[in-house]
Amino acid sequence: MGETLGFIGLGNMGYPIASNLIRAGYKLRVYNRTLSKAEPLLSQGAVLASRPAEVAEPGGIVVTMLADDQAVEAIALRNRELDERLGPGGIHLSLSTISPATARKLAEQHAQHGVGYVAAPVFGRPEAAAAGKLWVCLSGHRESKKRIQPIVDSFGQGSFDFGEDPGAANVVKLCGNFLIATAIEAMAEAWTLAEKNGLDRVRVAEMLTKTLFACPIYQSYGERIAQQQYDPVGFRLALGLKDVDLALQTATSSQMPMPLASLLHDRWLSGVAKGRSNLDWTAAALGVAEDAGLPIAKKSPTA
């Protein structure tokens, strides 16, 4: 294949995605704020850049997988160097979960430099990213989407196109993460209700996730919540709070009440306030056990 891509952001999700791109035959020029996280990719053939914009080449493609709006804005919105280096024909492929409003601002600024923008937020945990089994939502410039499709196919098991509105894919991503968060809260309450009535919460979870709720989210998250196992971390609780808040912000701008999202905001905020930011976001379930007066299993020193 031989094409060189820029890649910025090598965290829990970015690293396995970048590794899959190398295996697919792409050459990578990478940047990460913590340089040590990039080192394993260097042995796979990646080249390390000293600053974010240095990953770009004229008319090329830069992929970003960053934690939040602020990180994306710092690299691709407030600093024009990335646009200037990409120039006409270049593309910014953003895999980050950010607000639809930020995605639209990025697309508008990029267009002023002839740079295309494609939003491509993903569904899946790090193990799915490593296996190339992510689900990808796409929106943005039509021709840019055609060009980046082989890249997306390298790390995803399927993609869904939601049109040319740059913010559309991020709306879908926020809807999906809202549904996952509601499932976490619902399972936490159900498993705790079972425990409070003398039942083995793990056995109850096994029965329900093999029958009425036999789907990936209930099965994978349900087991973690039933066993109160919140480490290793696939998605940090602090990032879960960020996504719930983004859903609420988008709902407010759309004049769309979301009572459940408001409840989830308080649950996740409580978890962050109690020092659980760096546990898996399923650790929000600990708040349910506390409300029920149950002792918290000491699975982690921060639990």
Cα 268 from Cα 249, distance rounded (Å)? 16
Angle at 239 between CA 27 and CA 185, to 5 degrees: 130
DSSP 190-237: HHHHHHHTT--HHHHHHHHHHTTT-SHHHHHHHHHHHHT---S-SSBH
Relative to beta strand 4-8, strand 61-64 is: parallel
Per the annotation, the verdict on 173 as an active-site residue is: yes
**All residues at 6 or more sequence positions from 264 whose CB lies less than 8 Å from its CB, including other chains:** 178, 181, 182, 185, 244, 284
d(CA 229, CA 283): 8
Yes or no: say if 184 and 280 are a contact pair by the CB < 8 Å rule: no
Of 75, 63, 71, 128, whose CA–CA distance to 99 is shortest? 71
Instruction: Give which of 165, 151, 123 is closest to 63, Cα–Cα.
Output: 151
- For residue 61, CA distances in Å to 32, 76, 98, 131 come to 17, 13, 19, 23
Residue 225: exposure state from Cβ atoms within 10 A (0-12, 13-18, ≥19): buried
23 sits in which H/E element: helix 14-23
Annotated catalytic residue, options 27, 173, 196, 298: 173
Residue type, position 282, single letter: T
Catalytic residues: 173
